[in-house]
Structure 1
Amino acid sequence: MKAVVMAGGQGTRLMPLTANQPKPLMPVAGKPILYHVLRLLERHGIEEAIVTAQYHAEQIQGYLDGLEVLGLKISCVTEDTPLGTAGGFSALAERLRDDIFLVISGDALTDCNLSELIESHRGKPALVTACLAEVDNPFGFGIVTTGEGGRVDRFVEKPTAGSELSNQVNTGIYVVDPAVLDRIPAHQPTDWARDVFPVLVGENAIYGWSTNAYWEDVGTHDRYFEVQSDALTGKVSIELEFPEVAPGIRIEDGALMPSDVTLIGPLHIGAGEIGGGATLANGTILGRDVTVGAGAILDGAICHDAAYIGPGSVLIDCVVGYGAHIGPSVQLGRGAVVGAHSFVAEGTVVPEGARIEAAVPESLSSYPRADATAWHQESP
């Protein structure tokens, strides 16, 4: 069976983190969201994944070209112009006509039982079966109401606040009969929820399948923070690649740190350098090649690969993008976001919720490194 992974979104609400990389490549617990989606497909017996890309498509293609660990056939199809969530499917029609296929978002984190969803579709007179989930606040989602046997009787895409019909929302995961491909016009912007599904509702041809599994649309900074914590605490079942050296504390072989570093889990620490007297605590996640200076305190901080955190800096529940430079004695307030390759000068106090995107001065072409010794977890 084949799956189409929609990975073309721009992720504007996650700026500046998505200013120079697509949302599906945003890391969760050290791996891109797209990787976690592909692993989910593999676990449920999907044989081929077709990834559709548009925003920074070359990065998606480059990432997939180097991905050799997954046991499924992967290809990438690039859209030159945005065609909506369904518009690009007409170009894929000949590759998808042999059987029902799965559609899934490449920028949402879930451990949904796709096998049960597929079986539910096979047992119903449906052209589409949509995976549905209940959320506490449905504002901003596509709202779905269902009738007898799970048949969808109303599909309202992102209604205004206060007009929500239910807490049951569209997850963007569908099983689709190839006959639906004939309903999608070629080379025209088309949306599954706005254009295709309302027609199918009128034909009694779309059904819903409800899941209690974890599902989170990683569309805002708040949700990005949330999924990191959920991954470390096991609320969502995804792959955590680093060895667990103590309960809740995962450190990659080759990480450098002296013995006086304080570690308070949960933590997910890639191979990098940690200075003496530093504290890493409460959901902090460090990508690879991250440097943390002596005496720095990171509490719930998410630092992408190659970030530099200066000595004595304090980072609380914030995100530091790829290759960003945080100078000495900087304070990053709760919810602050520093974009990739940005620079925060020594002693700066960044208020809660601030967004920073600025060029790194040329004088910082090479960053100072922390003085540390190697951490190595012996193989059992």
Structure 2
Amino acid sequence: MKVVIFAGGFGTRLMEETEARPKPMVEIGGKPILWHILKMYEQHGYNEFVICLGYKATYIKEYFYNYYLHNSDVTIELANNNINVHFSETESFKVTLIDTGLHTNTAGRLKRVQKYVQNETFMLTYGDGVADVDFKALLKFHLSHGRLATLTSVQIPGRFGNLDIKEGGFVDNFIEKPIGDGMWINGGFFVLEPGIFKYLEGDVTDVQWEKGPLAAIAQDSQLAAYKHHGFWKCMDALRDRHELEELWSSGKAKWKTW
């Protein structure tokens, strides 16, 4: 089963990092967050990826083309252009890199990789989020309900602590960053049937996947939500990158299931 990954946006809210490289190549623990995402799926047996490129597409292409140089010990003989790889933490990734346009929105990017997923069930995610989702359980849930699309729903913690203040100003209870107000949000890990492409007909270059096609799929009762109660984190801003880096360096990176 193929996994499609959106990796073409400008990452403007992380401009401190993305002026020089695309957002999926921002590093956590010395590895691009895109690598972490691929490792998450590989751990569950999914190793075929179709990556939708756009902003600084050649940066991602170069990384995978020279993957052994980035991740191995090598000896390079300049006289004959021979390279010996001495050590490699070999992954089983099969990566198809598709330039889907610099300014194309997510619906348009998805439409442009249709021929690479063909007439098969496939997975979809974004190039900036990590989680400890059980992808096999997600797929099992998707196949059980027979609808065109399944999204993974998550509850995120509040940014601030909650106080239970009694009369007189006494605090009976304090909860640091509690889970939100009961609302579930789109966590960005999808399982999709090829039938979703009928919602991408016409020119969808400027259409956002969530606001256009996905909303229409939901209105047609073809969308289900898989509730994920575990770890989830999106690298939306520099603050998020620092939090992920701290989790990784402290050995508390719950998305690291490999």
**Shift in CA distance, 38/186, structure 1 to aligned 2, threshold 3 Å:** farther
Aligned residues of 2:52 and 2:97 also touching (Cα < 8 A): yes
**Shift in CA distance, 128/74, structure 1 to aligned 2, threshold 3 Å:** same
Q: Which residue of 2 aligns with 1:13?
A: 13
How much has 1:201 moved relative to structure 2? 1.6
AA matched with 1:72 = F
Please give the TM-score of this superposition, normalised by the length of structure 2.
0.77
What is the SS of the residue equivalent to 1:17?
helix
Write the distance in 2 (CA, Å) between the matches of 1:80 and 1:204: 31
Write the distance in 1 (CA, Å) between the matches of 2:64 and 2:202: 26
What is the SS of the residue equivalent to 1:40?
helix
How much has 1:186 moved relative to structure 2? 4.7
How much has 1:199 moved relative to structure 2? 1.0
Q: Which residue of 1 aligns with 2:87?
A: none
Listed as ranges, the gaps of 5+ residues in structure 1 are 139-163, 241-380
Q: Which residue of 2 aligns with 1:80?
A: 101
Q: Which residue of 2 aligns with 1:236?
A: 254
Listed as ranges, the gaps of 5+ residues in structure 2 are 69-89, 160-179
Q: Which residue of 2 aligns with 1:203?
A: 220
1:102 aligns with 2:118: no
1:2 aligns with 2:2: yes
1:41 aligns with 2:41: yes
Counterpart among 181, 198, 204 of residue 182 in structure 1: 198
Write the distance in 2 (CA, Å) between the matches of 1:232 and 1:224: 12
Aligned residues of 2:149 and 2:192 also touching (Cα < 8 A): yes
AA matched with 1:29 = G
How much has 1:229 moved relative to structure 2? 1.4
How much has 1:41 moved relative to structure 2? 1.5
What is the SS of the residue equivalent to 2:113?
helix
Deviations 1:38-82 (A, max 9, x none): 111211111410111111111011112123532031110012332
**Shift in CA distance, 186/38, structure 1 to aligned 2, threshold 3 Å:** farther
**Shift in CA distance, 130/102, structure 1 to aligned 2, threshold 3 Å:** same
**Shift in CA distance, 166/199, structure 1 to aligned 2, threshold 3 Å:** farther
AA matched with 2:199 = R
More helix per residue: 1 or 2? 2
Write the distance in 2 (CA, Å) between the matches of 1:52 and 1:121: 23
1:167 aligns with 2:188: no
Residues 96-175 of structure 1: pairs in structure 2 closer than 5 A: 96-137=117-158, 166-175=182-191
Residues 286-301 of structure 1: pairs in structure 2 closer than 5 A: none
AA matched with 1:4 = V
Residues 277-288 of structure 1: pairs in structure 2 closer than 5 A: none
What is the SS of the residue equivalent to 1:81?
coil
Write the distance in 1 (CA, Å) between the matches of 2:122 and 2:228: 19
Structure 1 residue ranges (4+ consecutive) displaced by more than 3 angstroms after TM superposition: none
Write the distance in 1 (CA, Å) between the matches of 2:194 and 2:25: 29
Q: Which residue of 2 aligns with 1:356?
A: none
Write the distance in 1 (CA, Å) between the matches of 2:213 and 2:108: 10
Write the distance in 2 (CA, Å) between the matches of 1:230 and 1:165: 25
Aligned residues of 1:113 and 1:213 also touching (Cα < 8 A): no
Aligned residues of 2:8 and 2:102 also touching (Cα < 8 A): no
AA matched with 2:195 = A
How much has 1:103 moved relative to structure 2? 0.2
Deviations 1:118-171 (A, max 9, x none): 111010121000001101249xxxxxxxxxxxxxxxxxxxxxxxxx98531111
AA matched with 2:231 = Y
How much has 1:2 moved relative to structure 2? 0.4
Write the distance in 2 (CA, Å) between the matches of 1:53 and 1:195: 20
Write the distance in 1 (CA, Å) between the matches of 2:6 and 2:181: 27
Q: RMSD of aligned C-alpha atoms?
A: 2.0
Deviations 1:193-237 (A, max 9, x none): 100122112111100001122211101111111111122332423
Write the distance in 2 (CA, Å) between the matches of 1:166 and 1:193: 21
Q: Which residue of 1 aligns with 2:112?
A: 91
What is the SS of the residue equivalent to 2:145?
coil
User: Larger relative contact order (C-alpha < 8 A, sep ≥ 6)?
Assistant: 2
